[in-house]
Amino acid sequence: MNNPPLDQAPAGARLTIDLGAIADNWRQLDAMAGAAECAAVVKADAYGLGIEQVVPTLWKAGCRTFFVALPGEGIRVRKAAPEAIIYILAGYFADALDIYRHYALRPVINMEFDAWVKAGRNDRLAYAVQLETGMNRLGMPISDYDKLQASGLLDDYQPSLLISHLACADTPGHALNALQQQRFSSAVENHPCNCTSLANSAGIFLGSDYHYDLVRPGIALYGGACTSALGADNPMRPVISLAARILQLKAVAPGETIGYGGAETVRPSPHSGSNERFVATIAAGYADGYLRSAGSSDQRRGGCAAWRGTRIPIIGRVSMDLISVDLTDHPDVAQLQDGRWYDEWIELIGPAVPLDDVAGAAGTISYELLTGLGNRYQRTYINGL
Ligand SMILES: *Cc1c(COP(=O)(O)O)cnc(C)c1O
């Protein structure tokens, strides 16, 4: 008998990634950006969803320019999209020069400009410059860039792209948006460049003054709500769904506690006739990136899951491999009793429990939830182009 292969060992939870929705989201942002080119930010393994699957999908949808954080991510994008333009946001690492040259990766230069010019100039390696306009994270002060241009050093070695990054784009009324936009506009007026870029996902929603020549969406491609301007109405298509199998369902008497720390006490249900609660234990946990902070206790309500489209609360702490959910008030709970829960699955992220709700219940943002998704899931990609 052949050995059953490891990669076919059944998982406790299934993560489904809708590549068609990512392509649609890119097309929608591309349309919003008008004449500006719509690039894609695929750092951190395309926000946890897989560079090897996401990049070819975006390429086929029409995307030609990609941003990643690190050189190794750039190599993976190069292999997935051989003709793409690829920028490395972390900038220039001296020990990565051969990689930049060989894979035609373009560093986004911040304050390490002197080192880069010595290394890249002879071969005319392409690069971008990021200007500091108010984020105070990475970026060259505009006064430094003025001096560089005045020195003549750049006369025959101009960057292919000038960018800056918005600190508060998800809050449209924030004064820093307009200030950064003004600073960036005056810098690119003084130093014209073939391609200029300011907007991340949320920046696209701030309007055409923020679009310049190229926009750089990340989270909106992956279905995350990127701006508080829209309230609960996220116009992007959801991309991921996550479901975990029920390992057991049992009746728990009032007064008992659930899980580690005895953190949540079972109380009689005001809705169902019985005093017991029906608690299902499902096969996912914080080792899968389902955040422990979404757990529930007597002091604080936790997050929600869903079964057959109806929400059910998490009960007790989230443990490494397991989560307990309370099905007592679910209208169909009787259909799960007497062992019929076997081979049933609970939705952790999906139509009834959107990504941003799960992130919110865990006290974080969709970015952190996505990039933390574990590698134990059975991953299925659907609707690829
Ligand atoms: C991550 C990042 C983006 C994408 O931001 P989103 O909010 O995910 O759209 C764009 N530009 C830079 C410089 C980034 O670091």
Ligand 1 and 128: CB distance under 6 A: no
Inter-residue contact 58 to 40 (CB < 8 Å)? yes
Ligand 1 and 215: CB distance under 6 A: no
* Residue 229 pLDDT > 80: no
pLDDT (tens digit, 9 = 90+) per residue, 138-174? 999 999 999 999 999 999 999 999 999 999 999 999 9
Distance 138 CA to ligand 1 centre (A): 12
Residue whose entry in the numeric block shows the structure tokens 């079972």? 266
CATH 3.20.20.10 range(s) for the chain read 33-226
Type of residue found at 180:
Q
CATH 2.40.37.10 range(s) for the chain read 240-382
Distance 265 CA to ligand 1 centre (A): 42
Tell me the fold of 33-226: TIM Barrel (3.20.20)
Beta strands at 161-163 and 196-197: parallel, antiparallel or unpaired: parallel
Q: What residues act catalytically? A: 43, 260
In DSSP terms, which residues pair with 279 in a beta bridge?
250, 326
pLDDT (tens digit, 9 = 90+) per residue, 124-137? 999 999 999 999 99
Which structure tokens are listed for 131?
Answer: 């200007």
* Residue 2 pLDDT > 90: no
pLDDT (tens digit, 9 = 90+) per residue, 246-266? 999 999 999 999 999 999 999
Beta strands at 128-132 and 140-141: parallel, antiparallel or unpaired: parallel
Return the CATH number of 240-382, one of 1.20.1740.10, 3.10.310.40, 2.40.37.10, 1.10.8.60. Answer: 2.40.37.10
Residue-level pLDDT at 273:
64
Ligand 1 and 164: CB distance under 6 A: no
pLDDT (tens digit, 9 = 90+) per residue, 342-372? 999 999 999 999 999 999 999 999 999 999 9
For residue 70, what are the CA distances in angstroms to 89, 100, 126, 232, 309? 7, 11, 16, 33, 40
Inter-residue contact 55 to 43 (CB < 8 Å)? no
| Spatial CB neighbours of 151, under 8 Å, sequence gap ≥ 6 | none
pTM over 0.85: yes
Ligand 1 and 41: CB distance under 6 A: yes
Residue-level pLDDT at 228:
79
Q: Report the pLDDT averaged over residues 309-338.
A: 96
Ligand 1 and 238: CB distance under 6 A: no
Please tell me the number of Cα atoms within 13 Å of 200 on its side-chain side: 21
Which structure tokens are listed for 91?
Answer: 């900038």
pLDDT (tens digit, 9 = 90+) per residue, 47-84? 999 999 999 999 999 999 999 999 999 999 999 999 99
Residue nearest to atom 4 of ligand 1 (CA): 218
Q: Report the pLDDT averaged over residues 85-107.
A: 97
Q: Which atom of ligand 1 is nearest to the CA of 217?
A: 9
Collapsing DSSP to helix, strand or coil, 184 comes out as helix
Mutate to test the pocket of ligand 1, among 41, 66, 162 (most ligand atoms within 8 A of CB): 41
